[in-house]
Amino acid sequence: MPKLNFAKVLFAYKMTQLASLNIKRCHGLGNVILLLPVLDYLFERGTAICLVTREEWIEAFSAIRPHFSIVTGTEDPVVDLDRTTSELYPSQHRSDELAGMLGIDEPIRSLVIDRIPSRWGRPFTPLRDCIILAPEAQHASRCWPVENCDRIKELFPGDQLVLVGVDKEPLIRCDVDLRGQLSLSELFGVLSVGKLVISMDSAILHIAAALMLPTVAIFGGVDARYRIRPDQPVVALQSSMSCCPCNKREDCEERYDCIKTISADHVYQAAQLALDAQGFIDFYRAVDLCQSGMINYTG
């Protein structure tokens, strides 16, 4: 697949307002999710979109964005966002970062996925109103201790707890463990029947927020405001340690104490806030969860 010099592509885009854009994003499902509202912005202004991404995601993305061409490769030159963002330190919301790389200086709306094919959720009807826990993330700095994950079932004894994710390990108490078993479209289906999602800073957080599901997000060192919008139904938990958020400029020698300070009890209290909000949470409400300094993060 030929690759253009990014600076030249960006210059050409700004100067001529391309009628079409071939753009590659394969690294990180969450990054593709956060790219979608940027591509929506361009499409609404007349740009034909060809998204190059991973084969296992094409079915789901083609269904929720049928007006895009979504492929695994193209002979045409592409803007390679995988390469461009490989060493990027967070400094603003990821969607805004991606928009800026494409010469867009106007606000980008939050992603909303207002409908999915009913066939995706139908097999998971017996799980309706479950609590969904996504216990993993791609980097150790965003991974919550296993013993904390293991307490969630204890704190929600009257609810079905469903695990989702890629890795089948470690063992975590739950009612249904779907880790390692779901395609992306099936993941959408499971999320669509849940009443609450508990997630790390991962793709599942962004999908849940786009589906407008009440969500508790557990953050490590990346500023929650760089991943979540104020109009999304998310209670974000982040440590108030002086080094946090570090935005990947880590000086903790990989201890990642920030995410370890968030307890299962904090998550339980945040979950009550999310559920009581009945589908919408004012993200900028500062609500003390305990005296250890954990808050509904507002900055």
**pLDDT at residue number 48:** 95
| Buried-state track 223-241, b at ≥16 Cβ within 10 A, e below 16 | bbbbbbbeebbbbbbbbee
Report the pLDDT averaged over residues 278-298. Answer: 37
Q: Is residue 10 pLDDT above 70, yes or no?
A: no
Which of the pair, 268 or 244, is modelled with greater confidence? 268
Report the pLDDT averaged over residues 225-234. Answer: 88
pLDDT over 90, % of the chain: 52
Q: Are 297 and 179 in contact (CB under 8 A)?
A: no
Q: Is residue 19 pLDDT above 60, yes or no?
A: yes
Closest CA to 165 of 201, 205, 136: 136
**pLDDT at residue number 245:** 75
CA-CA distances (angstroms) from residue 18 to 21, 35, 37, 90? 7, 18, 18, 27
| Contacts of range 113-119, beta carbons closer than 8 Å, 24 or more positions apart | 113/64, 113/188, 113/207, 113/210, 113/211, 116/63, 116/64, 116/185, 116/188, 116/189, 116/192, 116/211, 117/63, 117/185, 119/189
**pLDDT at residue number 85:** 77
**Contacts (Cβ under 8 Å, ≥6 apart) of 44:** none
Q: Is residue 256 pLDDT above 80, yes or no?
A: no
Dihedral, CA atoms, 136, 131, 213, 225, nearest 10 degrees? -40
What are the pLDDT digits (tens) for 25-66?
Answer: 998 999 999 999 999 999 999 999 999 999 999 999 999 999
- 97: helix, coil or strand? helix
Q: Is residue 289 pLDDT above 50, yes or no?
A: no
**pLDDT at residue number 287:** 35
Of 2-11, 38-47, 165-174, 243-252, least confident by mean pLDDT is 2-11
The pTM score is 0.87
* C-beta atoms surrounding 192 within 10 Å: 21
Tell me, rounded to whole angstroms, the distance of Cα 152 from its chain centroid. 21
What are the pLDDT digits (tens) for 93-133?
Answer: 999 999 988 888 888 999 999 999 999 999 999 999 999 99
What are the pLDDT digits (tens) for 135-184?
Answer: 987 676 667 889 999 999 999 999 999 999 999 989 999 999 999 999 99
Specify the residue for token string 């967070």.
90
What are the pLDDT digits (tens) for 194-225?
Answer: 999 999 989 999 999 999 999 999 988 788 88
Q: Is the peptide bond before 245 cis (omega within 30 degrees of 0)?
A: yes
What are the pLDDT digits (tens) for 70-100?
Answer: 999 988 889 999 887 767 787 889 999 999 8
Both structure tokens of 1? 């697949």
